[in-house]
Amino acid sequence: MSMIGKLVHYTVDAVLLSTVLAGVRRSSGFGPDSTLIGDPTIRSITDRFLGVGETVFDAVQGTAVSSTYFKRGERDRK
């Protein structure tokens, strides 16, 4: 695999991970606590990383809501 191919692959993996974390935060209220990161530069990168997932999650959710291929189902409340 070429260097560009690997870069694209790792970028897509990172965006998917960030999107999953955004979904978990939205559905359960639990998410990573970036305030525990001491270095302000790393904390800023982490917040941006998580922000990308929020943006992608919003786009996917908006597409699903306006699509005829998706419908709202009943949720099991325990």
Q: In this prediction, what percent of the chain has a pLDDT beyond 70? A: 96
Give the pLDDT confidence score for residue 78 in this predicted structure: 63
pLDDT digits (tens, 9 = 90+) for 29-53: 998 899 999 999 999 999 999 999 9
Rounded to the nearest angstrom, the gap between the alpha carbon of residue 28 and the centroid of all alpha carbons in its chain is 14
> CA-to-CA distance for 20 and 53, rounded, in angstroms?
7
Mean pLDDT over all residues of the chain?
A: 91
pTM: 0.78
Give the pLDDT confidence score for residue 71 in this predicted structure: 85
